[in-house]
Amino acid sequence: MLIKTRDDGFVHPFPSEITPAGVYQQRRELLRLMAGGAAGAVLAGWAARDARASQVPRPGKLAALSGRVSPVAGASTDEKLTDYQDASGYNNFYEFGMDKGDPARNAHTLPTSPWTVSVEGLVKKPGNYTLEDLLKLAPMEERIYRLRCVEGWSMVIPWVGYSVAELIKKVEPLGNAKYVEFVTLADKKTMPYVSSRVLLWPYTEGLRMDEAMHPLSLLAFGMYGEVLPKQNGAPLRLVVPWKYGFKSGKSLVKIRFVEKQPATAWNIAAPQEYGFYSNVNPNVAHPRWSQATERRIGEDGLFAKKRKTLMFNGYEAQVGQLYAGMDLKKYY
């Protein structure tokens, strides 16, 4: 079989690299041992691995960052919050490693001050905004959002920040700005896995303008009443609660307003698996697993019954109208 390669030196990742390598190998080993009747030991090992990833010591209290209770519809829930330890110790941030515990172990090398975000493209007021500028741009709010990962796990996290729309209104997009592109820091000196070939760096994501302007789309500077931990995307990140977690870029350094749909990191790496929209849709399976159910981190064991995944991650009443008339299987 012939495989067409790109001319710019980028090597398409193997499936075992797209799925974190440890998980990929464990799944294969589990299947092999189940066939031989020896699955118990590997299941115990898998559970222990999850436990280790979620028990990373908290490195002391971070600076406080509180916000008023958000008046935005859908920005609160009575669901039990995920423990801080789990939310900060079990996550994806591939610039610091592909295992769930890697970011908490490795992200201490990330310098977060000084920090500047460049606003570029089709806007009347482009420029470089310091973190201090952005912190003063709008009142901080606490938003309690569900977060659903494409790999099948979920959390409930209290974020602190303000709607992306606040920044968009300040920089005044031009009439032909149809999309907003978000670019993450890619520094080989402080992010050891930026040299890996699993993705084409820097990590880039994007939203349609109406998605970015929706009140639920959040620029987050903190969580649990404190500034963001480095492994969670300090000093600021995007949070789009009705989309899979990989849409919410971390450690943002550039926000660009463009006319054409921007290329995004996972869509470049595996377009048959990760579409531009990436809305949480339990009726559309990932090519390698179902999206109909999820495992809430911290509240259940390996054999506990999973939750049913909700359309748009439970935010259908707030965002469903954005996609009226769209074929959500085609625009996955």
Q: Which residues lie closer than 8 Å to 230 by C-beta, 6 or more apart?
A: 103, 107, 108, 110, 112
Count other C-beta atoms under 10 Å from residue 99's C-beta: 18
Q: Is residue 281 part of a domain?
A: yes
The more confident residue out of 265 and 21 is 265
The pLDDT, as a whole number, for residue 186 is 98
Tens digit of each residue's pLDDT (9 = 90 or more) over 24-61: 344 444 444 444 444 444 344 434 444 444 444 454 57
Q: Which residues span the domain enclosing 236?
A: 54-323
Judge whether 48 lies within some domain: no
In a domain, 36, yes or no: no
**pTM to 2 decimals?**
0.84
Whole-number pLDDT of residue 60: 58
Q: Does residue 71 carry a pLDDT above 80?
A: yes
- Residue 6, domain member (yes or no): no
Identify the CATH number of the domain in which residue 129 sits. Answer: 3.90.420.10
- Residue 133 placed within a domain: yes
Confidence of residue 299 (pLDDT cuts 50, 70, 90): confident
Of all residues in the chain, the percent with pLDDT exceeding 90 is 79
Residue 94 in domain: yes
Q: Answer yes or no: is 256 within a domain.
A: yes
Contacts of 118 (CB under 8 A, 6+ apart): 127, 128, 129, 253, 254, 255
Nearest to 109 by CA among 122, 93, 120: 93
pLDDT digits (tens, 9 = 90+) for 137-153: 999 999 999 999 999 99
Give the model's pLDDT for residue 305: 79
Report the domain count for the chain: 1
| Assigned domain for 84 exists | yes
Q: Is the peptide bond before 114 cis (omega within 30 degrees of 0)?
A: yes
